[in-house]
Chains A and B, each alone.
Chain A
């Protein structure tokens, strides 16, 4: 079941109707069952995997909490991590690593025959394993007491708005919400409805319309053009993936608000920043903070000097790339961002003004202009990264590297005088809309504080945009595959 389907809207209507009639315990049980129906709608067989992961981590957390000896606590934490990694390894990474190792050994004349697993990737596996794992780590770190109520924990993991594509909400944030009665406030319902509408605009108007251009262009082994259009297609993908994922996160947050829950903000204004560190503070925030807290900082963070910091950054970003998909294209994307972060850090230390952004009130016109130029420049740099990312999802039969190479060639050696395709207008219009949402991000989150006429006009515009410009073919969200 996807958010942009009629089935989901009917499902939601039933869930909300029941939810508002029940008490907290009944609500939790109903939400858990509804979440399993939501997940099982896609493939009920993988429900067992979800339930196993959840219950195993629940038990591990109880054991960690109960254990007094550090060794025992560590063993139970290791059990939780190993079980989650095993699940991920089997279902997501085994075939990739086996075939990669096979190819590598073949170069040395060794031809092992590793078996191939014919399993499909369970929906949202990367999200829920990270979610569940973070809970046991938090319990181990004594940042959170282990819950005694399996139902609450199962709901925390499986809660359908965030189950398949995040945000990866920490247990310390969401679990208490599952454990106490929710208060439905009118202002939050208003905010939730607006977030849902905005999410649908981002998904079915921006992402799915631009997806038509991107899918068409990447369905062929070489780019269909050798001029500025190569850049336009990459811009289209940049806005498509923003619309797709930020749209999903908005809908998820909006749905949660309708039920009195609060999920963490996952996107701010990632294309209106001027450096990679700021980009990761604005893009998929729940993943980047997860990687920071559970990987980068435990690796040592920036506490041991420059080179260890660069190493930690690279490891974190490479694994972050790998989290997105089992493929070299995603690893390369992670590597690219790792290099960007290292360069940014090195430059910041060298010039002594790391992470320094001019304040809006005091910046001179020249400084603002410079900031704008930096934002535009960094957007181009981000877009090059998106080329690697998109190459990770090419259709069967289209080789990744020739596509990446030929796009890079077209982007670097473009003939500016080449014929402009019809893609420019949709990319400018829809990309402009995506940038508008980012520019007005803070305002978009406080819809309930708008004036009545602003609210009426905005909702009308949203309904009209969805009706007139939406693509209603129920295209999957890109992040479902991760």
Chain B
């Protein structure tokens, strides 16, 4: 009797939660927004524009998480009852544990679609896992009230060159820019993350490109978070069978089946602190030479033409095609690396990259190619390391992007 009451309670609980949300969600959100709005906006650091909408949507997330937890608990209990009747005790614990594990994965899959879950893993701008930050920004894209949206995609170079806060401060009323870069991304990863974006209207996709995207390998950590089974077709279409898939592609596929596995680094980062996850990278950095020229020579040796670069170029063409399908204009800043590294690279790389990009831009009017000669000049002194410019140059480049975007906003899109 007691057990039946519990089962009934678990079944009815989601209905009650959703009824509450429909009745009181908006009211509660506006009350909370009036009390906490300014603080939330400050905490949000430009990730959202309307605190009332933000709170209302988080309450919705809460309702979703509570319902999912309740229904999955119900499913586990019912499965347990069924196993008790049908299975011998030797096998029951195996079935019970597998059902629990399955339900936990289902909950993780549902939770990872809510911004609230990711907010719980947020521990500050500089102390939060990249994927957590990405998911929060991605989720909040749906809630932006500005009529036009742009996204910054690519690796940490895009992040270092363009300051989305400055851009939003200047253009925020006409065009809202979300920064969705992922460190180490290459064209195939950008293709995956573009497909991962919510179905909102995106007007511009902005990428700061350099040789690092095409010639430094096939896989990156980003694949671990974005690769899905459905992407295997594209992987092979780009020539994936000719490249070393490394461990990140298989990890991504495993993460697609076991959402808990995909969440492990963000959750470990929350549980153990961000410091522990960065140690391996820091250890690698420590082993690098302090002399930039020496470091550039070492790094340049890993940039090469080959099946990996062909793979990335094909992926980039697919990425450009997907931008067109989404009616998003692709703004490509064909930039540079620190000239110290640029000089150490194989001289055949840059012409190869330019030829590829020019060819794409010629065939696709949706692409706006800004060549190096059009971009602000960057010298060795402007870089903090081999790839990232300092803050002063970030501001300079962002101001340049502002003028480009302003011109684009005045020009109606052609040929899409």
Contact = CB atoms under 8 A, between A and B. Distances in A.
Interface of A: 186, 190, 209, 212-213, 215-216, 219-220, 421-423, 425-426, 429, 452-453, 455-460, 463-464, 467-470, 472-473
Shortest 9 CB-CB distances between A and B: which pairs?
A422-B275, A456-B96, A455-B93, A459-B97, A422-B273, A460-B100, A426-B272, A216-B279, A460-B97
B264 A468 contact: yes
A425 B268 contact: no
Contacts of B96: 452-453, 455-457, 460
Interface in B229-265: 247, 251, 258, 260-261, 263-264
B258 A467 contact: yes
Contacts of A429: 271-272
A467 B261 CA distance: 5
A452 to B, nearest CB: 5
Interface string B89-127: 110111111001100100000000000000000000000
Interface in B280-317: 280, 282-283, 286-287
Nearest to B127: A422
Contacts of A458: 97
A184 to B, nearest CB: 13
A155 B89 CA distance: 35
Contacts of B90: 186, 190
A212 B273 CA distance: 13
A456 B268 contact: no
A452 B89 contact: yes
A219 B268 CA distance: 23
Nearest to B261: A467
A463 B276 contact: no
Contacts of B283: 215-216, 219
B264 A459 contact: no
A457 to B, nearest CB: 7
Given A219-B286, A423-B275, A464 B93 contact: no
B254 to A, nearest CB: 9
A197 to B, nearest CB: 10
A456 B93 contact: yes
Given A464-B260, A467-B261, A457 B276 contact: no
B273 A457 contact: no
B94 A459 contact: yes
B353 interface: no
B267 interface: yes
A425 B104 contact: no
Contact of B268 (A190, A455, A457, A468): A468
B214 interface: no
Given A186-B90, A216-B283, A455-B93, A460 B101 contact: yes
A473 B248 CA distance: 10
Nearest to B89: A452
Contacts of B97: 455-460, 463
B188 interface: no
A8 to B, nearest CB: 15
Given A469-B264, A469-B271, A472-B251, 19 more contacts: A190-B90, A212-B276, A212-B277, A212-B279, A213-B279, A215-B283, A216-B279, A219-B283, A220-B286, A422-B273, A422-B274, A423-B275, A452-B89, A453-B93, A456-B92, A456-B95, A464-B104, A467-B258, A467-B261
B268 A469 contact: yes
A347 B261 CA distance: 52
A422 to B, nearest CB: 3
Contacts of B260: 464, 467-468
17 contacts: A215-B279, A216-B282, A422-B275, A425-B271, A429-B272, A453-B96, A455-B93, A455-B97, A456-B96, A456-B97, A457-B97, A459-B94, A460-B96, A463-B101, A467-B260, A468-B261, A468-B267
Nearest to B90: A186
Nearest to A187: B90
The residue in B89, B94, B276 that gathers the most chain A C-beta atoms within 10 A of its C-beta is B276
A212 B282 CA distance: 11
A456 B287 CA distance: 45
| Residue among A425, A459, A460 having the largest count of chain B Cβ atoms under 10 Å | A460
Nearest to A421: B275
Nearest to A193: B94
A213 B264 CA distance: 18
B272 A452 contact: no
Contacts of B261: 467-468
A209 B104 CA distance: 23
A452 B93 contact: yes
A456 B84 CA distance: 13
A304 B247 CA distance: 59
Contacts of B272: 209, 422, 425-426, 429
A425 B273 contact: yes
Contacts of A422: 272-276
Contacts of B263: 468
A458 B97 CA distance: 8
Contacts of A473: 247
Nearest to B268: A469
A193 B59 CA distance: 42
A211 to B, nearest CB: 10
A456 B279 contact: no
A473 B264 CA distance: 13
B271 to A, nearest CB: 7
A35 to B, nearest CB: 27
A426 B271 CA distance: 8
A292 B95 CA distance: 45
A452 B94 CA distance: 9
A452 B276 contact: no
Contacts of B92: 452, 456
Contacts of B274: 422
A453 B84 CA distance: 11
A470 B265 CA distance: 9
A467 B264 contact: yes
Given A468-B260, A468-B267, A213 B276 contact: yes
Q: Which of A213, A215, A452 has the most CB of B within 10 A?
A: A452
Contact of A460 (B104, B273, B276, B279): B104
A387 B276 CA distance: 21
Contacts of A216: 279-280, 282-283
Contact of B276 (A423, A459, A468): A423
Nearest to A395: B287
A64 B54 CA distance: 83
Interface in B192-232: none
A131 B221 CA distance: 43
The interface centre, meaning the residue of B92, B100, B274 with most chain A CB atoms within 10 A of its CB, is B100
Contacts of B267: 468-469
- Centre residue among B89, B247, B267, B272 by max chain A CB count within 10 A: B272
Interface string B62-101: 0000000000000000000000000001101111110011
Contacts of B286: 219-220
Nearest to A454: B93
Contacts of B275: 421-423
Contacts of A212: 276-277, 279-280
A459 B273 contact: no
Contacts of B264: 467-470
Contacts of B276: 209, 212-213, 422-423, 426
A456 B100 CA distance: 8
A423 B100 CA distance: 31
Contacts of B271: 425-426, 429, 469
B226 to A, nearest CB: 17
